[in-house]
């Protein structure tokens, strides 16, 4: 067992008990997605644990994920006890993808939490699905993502649900919201013929010719999607923290591996929309 395996173990145990993988992945994006590449502010700094960030409307529902992070910090193991909050939130995202059958991303620890407990993440950084597609894309570019990385990251919506009382949208994007695969793109390309959720983001992906081509490529080739997704996800999780990260890996070691098997036990999900 290497450090990555030991660090991920408490999250595997959590997901076996409570299948909150999608919520944990969303929390990872909401802690990291506040990054601005020009001012180098925001990013994964653990500010989501403070009520001034957690109580914002865009973070509705993430309190359950943060409670689990606190529990793992207190009662995980000797490796998770050493990790910062921002490390733990990002580790939760990595493990959620791995647990549901997605790429196995190699985690680098060492993120520094925001030093000042009163530090507020600047408002209006996270994309809001109601604000129109060009604003959403502008915000993803402000974080430093290319259009290709944006399209790859959207495939994370293969997992989970939208909840009316959190964002005003209701439903799921794919048939099986507990499996990380490329079905999100297949549903996007089906357009009106798909019975699953379509927000303005899905309409943009299907209508913009550059994005549509990427969706077609990912829908046809799951390994290509996993490769692009893993690289974009690792980038997201390290935004603005690169200089602090400790690496247990050799220089040329790949940042991810394709999954060999899924840890998923579908029968264990008695109440899939509970989280
Ligand atoms: C343009 C950027 C994005 C927009 C506009 C967006 C929008 C949304 C919305 C509206 C929901 C429904 C939330 C709810 O009602 O509970 C959602 C859920 C979710 N998002 Fe995103 N998202 C974006 C990017 C991302 C990224 C980059 C990730 C991860 C890498 C991500 C992961 C998720 C997951 C896993 C869920 C399901 C959560 C659950 O089941 O509780 N999203 N997103």
What structural domains does the chain harbor?
Answer: 3-262 (1.10.420.10)
Q: Which residue, by CA, sits nearest to atom 13 of ligand 1?
A: 162
pLDDT digits (tens, 9 = 90+) for 136-179: 999 999 999 999 999 999 999 999 999 999 999 999 999 999 99
Q: Which residue, by CA, sits nearest to atom 17 of ligand 1?
A: 162
Helix (H, G, I), strand (E, B) or coil at 229: helix
ipTM of predicted assembly, 2 dp: 0.99
pLDDT above 50 (res 239): yes
Nearby residues of 38 by Cβ (< 8 Å), 6 or more positions away: 142
Span from the CA of 26 to the centroid of ligand 1 (angstroms): 6
> What is d(CA 120, CA 109) in angstroms, rounded to the nearest whole number?
23
> What is d(CA 165, CA 60) in angstroms, rounded to the nearest whole number?
8
Considering the candidates 30, 157, 178, 233, report the single residue annotated as catalytic.
30
Is position 30 annotated as part of the catalytic site?
yes
Nearby residues of 237 by Cβ (< 8 Å), 6 or more positions away: 28, 32, 44, 90, 93, 94
* Tokens coding 124: 């209006």
Closest CA to 228 of 50, 105, 91: 105
The finding on whether 153 has its CB within 6 A of some atom of ligand 1 is yes
> Where is 32: in which H helix or E strand?
helix 21-32
Q: How far apart are the first and last CA of the chain?
A: 31
pLDDT above 90 (res 275): no
Does 263 or 243 have the greater pLDDT score?
243
The finding on whether 234 has its CB within 6 A of some atom of ligand 1 is no
Helix (H, G, I), strand (E, B) or coil at 113: coil
């Amino acid at each position: 067992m290497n450090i990555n395996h030991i660090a991920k173990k408490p999250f595997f145990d959590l997901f076996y008990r409570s299948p909150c993988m999608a919520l944990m992945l969303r929390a990872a994006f909401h802690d990291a997605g506040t990054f601005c590449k020009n001012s180098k502010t925001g990013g994964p700094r653990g500010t989501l644990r403070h009520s001034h960030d957690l109580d914002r409307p865009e973070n509705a529902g993430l309190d359950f994920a943060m409670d689990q992070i606190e529990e793992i910090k207190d009662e995980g193991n000797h490796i998770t006890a050493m990790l910062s909050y921002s490390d733990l939130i990002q580790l939760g995202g990595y493990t959620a993808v791995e647990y549901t059958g997605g790429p196995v991303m190699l985690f680098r620890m060492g993120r520094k939490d925001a030093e000042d407990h009163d530090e507020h993440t600047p408002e209006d950084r996270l994309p809001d699905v109601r604000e129109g597609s060009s604003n959403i894309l502008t915000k993803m570019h402000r974080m430093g993502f290319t259009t290709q990385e944006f399209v790859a990251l959207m495939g994370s919506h293969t997992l989970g649900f939208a909840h009316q009382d959190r964002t005003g949208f209701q439903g799921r994007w794919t048939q099986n919201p507990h499996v990380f695969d490329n079905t999100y793109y297949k549903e996007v390309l089906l357009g009106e013929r798909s019975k699953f959720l379509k927000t303005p983001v899905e309409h943009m992906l299907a209508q913009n010719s550059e994005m549509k081509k990427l969706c077609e490529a990912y829908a046809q080739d799951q390994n290509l999607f996993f490769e692009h997704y893993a690289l974009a996800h690792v980038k997201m999780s390290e935004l603005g923290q690169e200089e602090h990260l400790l690496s247990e890996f050799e220089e040329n070691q790949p940042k991810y591996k394709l999954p060999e098997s899924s840890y998923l036990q579908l029968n264990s999900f008695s109440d899939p929309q509970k989280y």
